[in-house]
Copies of this chain bind each other. A is one copy, B any other.
Amino acid sequence: MSNLPTFSDVLSAADNLRGHAVHTPLITNSMLDDRVEGRVFMKAECLQRTGSFKFRGAYNALSRAGDEGRKRGIVACSSGNHAQGIAEAARLMGQQATIIMPEDAPLLKKQRTARSGATIIEYDRYLEDREMLTQKHAEETGAILVHPYENHDVIAGQGTVGLEACRDLQQLGLEADHFLVCAGGGGLMAGITIAAKHHFPSVQIHPVEPEGHDDQRRSHIAGERLGGNVNTPSLCDAILTQMPGEASFAICQGQLSDGLVVSDQEAMDAVAFAFHELKLVVEPGGAVTLAALLSGKLHVAGKTVLATLSGGNIDPPVMARALDI
């Protein structure tokens, strides 16, 4: 990416998304607040169109591709949430989308991607390189590649999550002390960093990752992009990436506070908490921020906290396991 997105790109993404993306609410819960002794505002992107924030970046990118996208088609790689975002945005735009998905992606995510009319090509996540497969498809077919996070318009679109959250908090007369973000490749975190640091310059932004996949945390400590071990199994499929994106890393460098890491069990406990107490359907990868708060990874007593609940596309059997049915 030659030029990195700025706050004005986030503002124009917000204009672009108006009437298409859901302005999701900030959810509060007195039991959670009592437990952490702070005020937590959860940005419920599980309520977003297609069930995750990914629709924002996808729609922003595809609407800018416009006629060119209709002529050439779109290709994207994704474990599921970017896939659904792209597939649905393409349907709305009258573009044909092809999605390169790992064959062990959650069934629900495959089904929901297919129902928007996208073509799915499966690959083996442990043996094949999805970036190369996607690049090859783009070269062979001429389709426009929309990367899940190495893309200017995608990052700007995800930034609207932060924009809405900060504006809504300001309307309540509050300022955020902390912003916990579910982190995979870092597109959401980069977009949120742009918006949140504009509104609240001293806010502490924390990437939250699953155990064994804390490449964001380690990279930002090291000051360089480090690879993770994608072979470590995790239920947090939505946020498993090989290493931080180049663009998102550049945007976030020097802007982040401590990275937080949660176990699969902590993520599943947060899924159950969201079900029972918040009445929200959240997937494990979308619940890691809540998991970090519930398991006390960050001391937020007396603080105002924003946290993303980034998606809700959970297979029913995984929910059954979380609820111990």
Whether A229 sits at the interface, judged by CB under 8 Å, is no
Whether A282 sits at the interface, judged by CB under 8 Å, is yes
Residues in B neighbouring A25, C-beta threshold 8 A: 25, 47
Partner of A279, one of B47, B277, B324, B325: B47
How many monomers of this protein are in the complex? 2
A22 to B28, CA, bound (A): 8
A323 to B318, CA, bound (A): 12
Whether A46 sits at the interface, judged by CB under 8 Å, is yes
* Contact between chains at B316 and A279 (CB < 8 Å): no
* Contact between chains at A47 and B27 (CB < 8 Å): yes
- Asked whether A275 and B279 contact (CB < 8 A) given A47-B27, A317-B325, A320-B325, the answer is no
Q: How far is the CB of A44 from chain B (nearest CB, A)?
A: 8
Chain A interface mostly: helix
Whether A253 sits at the interface, judged by CB under 8 Å, is no
- Asked whether A46 and B325 contact (CB < 8 A) given A25-B25, A320-B320, the answer is no
Partner of A46, one of B22, B28, B279: B279
Of all chain B residues, the one with the shortest Cβ separation from A49 is: B30
Of all chain B residues, the one with the shortest Cβ separation from A313 is: B279
Whether A221 sits at the interface, judged by CB under 8 Å, is no
Partner of A275, one of B30, B47, B281: B281
Whether A259 sits at the interface, judged by CB under 8 Å, is no
Whether A278 sits at the interface, judged by CB under 8 Å, is yes
Whether A312 sits at the interface, judged by CB under 8 Å, is yes
Interface string of A279-293 (1 = CB under 8 A from B): 111100000000000
Residues in B neighbouring A325, C-beta threshold 8 A: 316-317, 319-320, 325
Interface string of A26-51 (1 = CB under 8 A from B): 01101000000000000000110101
10 A-B residue pairs with Cβ-Cβ distance under 8 Å, sorted by A, are A27-B47, A47-B278, A108-B276, A275-B316, A279-B280, A279-B282, A316-B323, A317-B325, A319-B325, A320-B323
